[in-house]
């Protein structure tokens, strides 16, 4: 039996088309804004992104599933969509205020949050927005498809078009956020603007009702709401600062200024005489950190007998460059975000670049990209002063590939210095594992590596073994010969920091770690160990679970294949009752595949091209564009049950093959940044089109005795549940533990199991 390829005409009215586009645009921008806000609340911990994304997808799924149950009782779904948009306009800014007002009991400002608190606060922040978004999708699908029951194929097409239109709205939202909102508009202004847009869309829908009473009711609600949101939009800066200053997480601090940046929100806060800089909740520097500034600058330079050309990556707005310059060297400073310096100058209360000589050169760009393009043998010393690899983006500065790029930029007798949180005497647990991985990775590139113990450990690496043998007396002699005026780094400090006993103890502890893995761009194991450190501090029980997951192997997923075969045998007599469940499992697997490829593609792009935030919105927009195209193409055709079953199984098979081949593709393009950017964008668009094409097919198969809109809600919910599971598993565990190759192959095996489970659809749908 073949498919009827006659094109359908969904006949969606313009007002409903507009409302669906607004739904997609609102959902994506609100997701990004609230995720960035929660990331700041959770002190930049990247594991929180997986939690936030999972909560977002799961609660949208809840809304969609609830909508699928109640839509049959709603006589006018278009009006329900309109009033839900008016309600969404209120919910959006309210969610931001909730985020800024919560603080778990017993947690002091600046203290790290536990996983339970993260999940709870994410749920409190996003629940209303997400449930409304899920309901709105079902209302829009119902309004497009009509309320008739039955099995007519034309009822499925409008649901697929609504799915595609929502994706197009998300594409528009991603582009707008990437090009403008992320850098120029603060969160309060963005959500107030979205609220005004939702009010306008809801009013257009309600105005289509010819009854005068209905129009008066719509105007009486919409106009005052639009006026309030307009005032909030006009006074967004004042409202933003007021909400931050009232937030319990800034208790004891005075928030001086708040600026948006494509790299994360920038906040300057004062406590007494000290001014601190935070970006996405991470402390980047303070005006009262002279000790750390001195050590960062002087220790590496004193190990080199005659440094002339020095490269500093990070820490460029502090006093570190001035301390380096006191050695009489030719210094180049590279830092990431120019908006930080602009924020210091442009705030209502300008802040000087603390301790930094403005005459020293400062270049703003991705530090790793700068190193990659640097002339060979151009520097005597390279100092990497970035936070620990607590995120995938920071992990880029601790990988074998980065160390190889630095080695190329170093003179033959050059020195690399990089820091990591440690201990002055004893390393243990995940702190020891993290240090051992860093040392082992450095030794893959440099024959000489010397760790220097301390609360902030230094790892010094060079091809010149003699350079690393200098003792405290030699460094003290260089300190005096160079005429350096220091407050903390002196003879006594050098003798204490370089005690032979302390050095031997640290080396002995590092040697006790058997075969530490190597940290690479596509296997970010240091990121996993930093997550263990964080979990150890907050939840020993959860940390133990994470350690056990550390033994995970990619071939564990192969167990799913015999399990699927056994399930097929058991349910052969009850296939009719279990058929809907099998379909939902299949669409969940496709949704998980889409999110897994997104995560792997973004990681590869980040490793190849630089800091991910430069292109995050555009890359997500590429995926959503593919989603829209795939859904629209398949929705334009009328499919019988047999053809739909074949297409669903073909989608599962294609997904499994793509996942299996993905590591080879990404490994080939990562070394070529220009090619990687194009390849990842095309990959996400193609995978998005595959995921989008499967949606109307699954609706067609799941529908049968149900309304198409109700089937759409159930399938949409399953898609989101699979995506939520993949976001947590891939983002928090699989990528750091298994790397790109292992995660992709794990995904391919699970897709193969879902394909095996769904094979009976071929004969049962005939």
pTM over 0.85: no
Between 493 and 364, residue with greater pLDDT: 493
**pLDDT tens-digit profile of 185-236?**
889 999 999 999 999 999 999 998 888 888 898 999 999 999 999 999 999 9
317 has pLDDT over 90 = no
CA-nearest of 94, 170, 266, 26 to 622 is 170
Confidence of residue 603 (pLDDT cuts 50, 70, 90): confident
CA torsion sign for 400, 401, 402, 404 is positive
Domain extents in the chain:
13-147+186-254, 288-534, 552-766
Sheet with 266-271, strands from edge to edge, namely 254-259, 266-271, 274-279, 282-286
Kindly report which listed range (252-266, 491-505, 540-554, 744-758) carries the lowest average pLDDT score.
540-554
Category of 704 on φ-ψ map: left (φ > 0), alpha (ψ -120 to 50) or beta: left
Domain 288-534 CATH assignment equals 3.40.50.150: yes
**pLDDT tens-digit profile of 158-170?**
788 888 899 899 8
Q: Vertex 202, ends 616 and 617: CA angle to 5°?
A: 5
- Interaxial angle between packed helices 616-635 and 673-703, expressed in degrees from 0 to 180 and rounded to the nearest 10: 40
569 has pLDDT over 50 = yes
Q: Are strands 4-7 and 637-638 parallel, antiparallel or unpaired?
A: antiparallel
**Average of per-residue pLDDT across 629-656:** 88
**pLDDT tens-digit profile of 704-714?**
545 555 677 78
Rounded Cα gap, residues 145 and 306, in angstroms: 76
**pLDDT tens-digit profile of 413-462?**
999 999 999 888 788 888 999 999 999 999 999 999 999 998 899 999 99
Both tokens assigned to 201: 């869309």
Both tokens assigned to 36: 């960035």
502 has pLDDT over 80 = yes
Confidence of residue 2 (pLDDT cuts 50, 70, 90): very low
What is the structure's pLDDT at 410?
A: 97
537 has pLDDT over 80 = no
**pLDDT tens-digit profile of 661-714?**
999 999 888 877 778 888 999 999 999 999 999 988 988 888 654 555 567 778
Mean confidence (pLDDT) of the chain: 85
Both tokens assigned to 673: 């940044």
At 410, is the secondary structure helix, strand, or coil? strand
What is the structure's pLDDT at 3?
A: 41
575 has pLDDT over 80 = no
Q: For residues 679 and 669, is the Cβ–Cβ distance under 8 A? A: yes
What is the structure's pLDDT at 384?
A: 97
What is the structure's pLDDT at 477?
A: 95
What is the structure's pLDDT at 288?
A: 74
What is the structure's pLDDT at 108?
A: 54
């Amino acid at each position: 039996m073949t498919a009827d390829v006659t094109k359908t005409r969904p006949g969606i009215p313009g007002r409903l088309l507009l409302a669906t586009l607004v739904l997609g645009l609102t959902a994506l921008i609100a997701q990004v804004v609230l995720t960035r806000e929660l990331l700041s609340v959770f002190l930049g911990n990247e594991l929180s992104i997986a939690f936030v994304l999972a909560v977002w997808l799961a609660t949208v799924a809840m809304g969609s599933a609830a909508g699928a149950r109640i839509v049959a009782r709603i006589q006018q779904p278009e009006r329900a969509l309109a009033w839900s948009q008016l309600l969404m306009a209120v919910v959006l800014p309210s969610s931001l205020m909730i985020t800024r007002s919560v603080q778990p009991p017993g947690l002091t400002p600046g203290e790290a949050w536990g996983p339970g608190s993260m999940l709870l606060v994410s749920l409190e922040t996003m629940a209303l927005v997400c449930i409304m978004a899920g309901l709105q999708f079902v209302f829009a699908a119902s309004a497009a498809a009509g309320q008739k029951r039955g099995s007519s194929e034309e009822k499925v097409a409008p649901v697929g078009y609504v799915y595609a239109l929502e994706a197009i709205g998300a594409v528009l939202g991603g582009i707008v956020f990437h090009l403008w909102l992320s850098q120029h508009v603060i969160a309060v202004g963005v959500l107030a603007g979205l609220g005004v847009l939702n009010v306008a869309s809801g009013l257009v829908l309600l105005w289509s009702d010819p009854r005068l009473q209905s129009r008066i009711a719509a105007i009486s609600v919409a106009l005052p709401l639009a006026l309030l949101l307009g005032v909030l939009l006009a006074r967004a800066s004042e409202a933003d600062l007021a909400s931050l200053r009232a937030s319990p997480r800034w208790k004891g601090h005075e928030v001086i200024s708040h600026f948006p940046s494509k790299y994360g929100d920038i906040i300057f806060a004062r406590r007494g005489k000290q001014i601190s800089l935070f970006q996405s909740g991470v402390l980047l520097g303070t005006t009262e950190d002279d000790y750390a500034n001195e050590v960062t600058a002087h220790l590496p330079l004193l190990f080199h007998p005659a440094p002339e050309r020095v490269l500093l990556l990070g820490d460029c707005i502090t006093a570190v460059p001035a301390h380096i310059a006191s050695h009489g060297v030719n210094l180049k400073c590279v830092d990431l975000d120019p908006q930080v310096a602009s924020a210091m100058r442009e705030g209502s209360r300008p802040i000087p670049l603390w301790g930094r000589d403005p005459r020293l050169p400062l270049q703003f760009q991705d530090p790793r990209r700068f190193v990659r393009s640097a002339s060979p043998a151009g520097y005597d010393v390279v100092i990497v002063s970035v936070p620990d690899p607590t995120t995938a983006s920071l992990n880029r500065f601790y990988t074998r590939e980065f160390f190889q790029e630095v080695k190329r930029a170093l003179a033959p007798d050059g020195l690399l210095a990089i820091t990591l949180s440690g201990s002055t005497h004893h390393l243990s647990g995940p702190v020891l594992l993290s240090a051992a991985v860093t040392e082992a990775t450095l030794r893959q590139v440099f024959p000489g590596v010397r760790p220097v113990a301390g609360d902030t450990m230094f790892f010094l690496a060079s091809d010149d073994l003699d350079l690393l043998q200098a003792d405290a007396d030699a460094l003290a002699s260089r300190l005096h010969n160079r005429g350096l005026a220091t407050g903390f780094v002196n003879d006594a400090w050098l003798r204490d920091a370089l005690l032979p006993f302390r050095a031997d103890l640290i080396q002995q502890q590092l040697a006790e770690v058997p075969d530490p893995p190597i940290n690479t761009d596509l296997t970010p194991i240091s990121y996993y160990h930093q997550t263990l450190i964080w979990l150890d501090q907050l939840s020993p029980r959860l940390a133990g679970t994470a350690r056990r997951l550390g033994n995970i192997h990619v071939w564990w997923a192969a167990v799913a294949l015999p399990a699927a075969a056994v399930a097929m045998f058991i349910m052969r007599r009850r296939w009719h009752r279990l058929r809907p469940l099998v379909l939902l499992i299949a669409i969940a697997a496709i949704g998980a595949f889409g999110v897994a490829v997104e995560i792997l593609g973004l990681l590869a792009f980040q490793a190849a091209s630089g800091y991910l935030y430069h292109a995050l919105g555009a890359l997500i927009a590429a995926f959503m564009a593919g989603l829209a195209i795939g859904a629209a193409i398949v929705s334009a055709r009328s499919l019988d049950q047999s053809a739909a079953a074949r297409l669903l199984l073909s989608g599962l098979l294609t997904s499994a093959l793509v996942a299996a081949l993905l590591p080879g593709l990404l490994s080939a393009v990562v070394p070529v940044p220009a090619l990687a950017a194009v390849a990842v964008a095309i990959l996400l668009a193609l995978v998005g089109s595959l995921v989008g094409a499967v949606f109307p097919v699954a609706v067609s198969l799941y529908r049968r005795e149900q309304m198409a809109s109700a089937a759409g809600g159930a399938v949409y919910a399953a898609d989101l549940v699979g995506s939520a599971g993949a976001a947590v598993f891939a983002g928090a565990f699989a990528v750091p533990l298994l790397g790109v190759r292992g995660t992709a192959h794990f995904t391919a095996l699970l897709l193969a199991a879902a394909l095996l489970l769904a094979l009976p659809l071929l004969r049962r749908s005939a």
